[in-house]
Amino acid sequence: MTVPRQADVTAGVSGQANVDMLTSVSRNFISDTCTIPTDGQMLAALGATRGDDVYQEDESTQALEARIAKLAGKEAALFAMSGTMTNQLSIRAHLTSPPHSVITDYRAHVHKMEAGGIAMFCQATTDTVVPSNGIHITAEDIEPHLQLGNNIHYRPTKLLCLENTLSGMIFPQDEVIKISQLAKKHGLKLHLDGARIWNVAAVELESRGLDARKEEDLQVVLTDLLNPFDSASLCLSKGIGAPIGSAIVGSQEFIERARWFRKAFGGGVRQTGPMAAAADHALTYHFPRLSTTHALARKLAEGLKGLGITIVAPVDTNMVFFDPTSIGLNMTDIINRLESLPQPIRIRGERCVIHHQTSPQAVEEFIDTVARMKSESSVEVVVQNVNLSRKVGEKQVKKDYRLPY
């Protein structure tokens, strides 16, 4: 049986409570996880098979895994409950026994935001690297951190983990390739936290003039992006808006080892078909909307920048980091003012995230509200803004600014 495909049943939701929730998430800039399943996704879930995935007997789950493995150009894929789980399963599956260590960017989710999972599950040390260019780590940045050789005082490096996007910024593929060559030279594995690799793929498709609605075009791009990696974790519940789930891709042998750990982690879930089908629907119908999402992020960044606000990191995809102190405004005041609108807009701080259900009107109201606050305040500060260009060579972050995520 193939996974049921509904005609795109619009982006709508039924039931007043869900309509209200959709309005709420359309004005929520806290994360791209702040989305809700559409009726189309729920209908896809209804049409899913109901087999037991622990026994590998669910066709809808297997169809999603096969689809993602093919798109990624890898032998196999494994569906799991969350991005944290797929990262930690991957890292655990790569590592054998201590002593060993993993190299990551100092801001990496796998290091900072996964409850110390690497130490807990792998007994591994994390060596963190600060990017010398302020944007992404490079092979040159990584090299001095490698722990190689037989010195018994060392913690041998066994794995490098990259993140793409990181804070919405795209990792240049030529640098990914250099890092993968460094990994190969020293017999190290390379894992990608590709929670937002779909966003990178959407930008890449656009820049190559390919069609985001065509499976074969996405396959070409995603395969290229993931080719340097031994494994990757691809979140389904962020950019593309699945209610639940993330997938690991890699070799058949690696996926079987990850499946074993998934069981041990308590992540062997039984009737996963409806979740897989909702995610499959999102991949078909929400992925092509990512370029609109990115345009909306640029609109927000340009609107804020036009007011004299500093945009502190390049806006490559769906995230905007801003510093309002450049026009004498305080972040807490902005958060409170947006929250007190008749229809509240929610942000948590400098990081604003756009998703496929963000409303263009919310972006306009966001900018208008900050503009009103600016005109109410008498402070005028002249600032130099960063370039919003996507070209790597032109990227810069505000001097000495350390992105918190």
Ligand X SMILES: Cc1ncc(COP(=O)(O)O)c(C=O)c1O
Closer CB to ligand X, 83 or 324, in the complex: 83
Q: Rounded to the nearest whole angstrom, what is the least distance from the CB of residue 85 to ligand X in the complex? A: 7
**Which residues partner with 319 through β-bridges?**
353
Positions that interact with ligand X (CB under 6 A): 82-84, 87, 109, 163, 193, 195, 235, 237, 246
First-to-final CA distance of the chain: 42
Closer CB to ligand X, 195 or 311, in the complex: 195
Helix axes 290-306, 360-376, angle to 10 degrees: 10
Closer CB to ligand X, 127 or 163, in the complex: 163
Q: Rounded to the nearest whole angstrom, what is the least distance from the CB of residue 109 to ligand X in the complex? A: 4
Closer CB to ligand X, 51 or 65, in the complex: 65
Closer CB to ligand X, 309 or 315, in the complex: 315
From the list 185, 136, 143, the residue with the least C-alpha distance to 165 is 136
Rounded CA gap, 2 and 12, in Å? 24
Q: Rounded to the nearest whole angstrom, what is the least distance from the CB of residue 311 to ligand X in the complex? A: 20
Cα 314 to Cα 35, 141, 196, 204, 384, distances in angstroms: 24, 21, 16, 16, 14
Q: Rounded to the nearest whole angstrom, what is the least distance from the CB of residue 33 to ligand X in the complex? A: 6
Closer CB to ligand X, 23 or 33, in the complex: 33
Q: Rounded to the nearest whole angstrom, what is the least distance from the CB of residue 4 to ligand X in the complex? A: 25
Q: Rounded to the nearest whole angstrom, what is the least distance from the CB of residue 48 to ligand X in the complex? A: 21
Count of Cβ atoms closer than 10 Å to residue 174 Cβ: 9
Q: Rounded to the nearest whole angstrom, what is the least distance from the CB of residue 119 to ligand X in the complex? A: 17
Closer CB to ligand X, 5 or 346, in the complex: 346
From the list 298, 296, 292, 289, the residue with the least C-alpha distance to 389 is 298
The residue number with the shortest CB distance to ligand X is 83
Q: In what order do the strands lie in the sheet with 189-193?
A: 76-80, 246-250, 231-235, 189-193, 157-163, 101-105, 125-129
> Are 310 and 322 contacting, i.e. CB atoms less than 8 angstroms apart?
yes
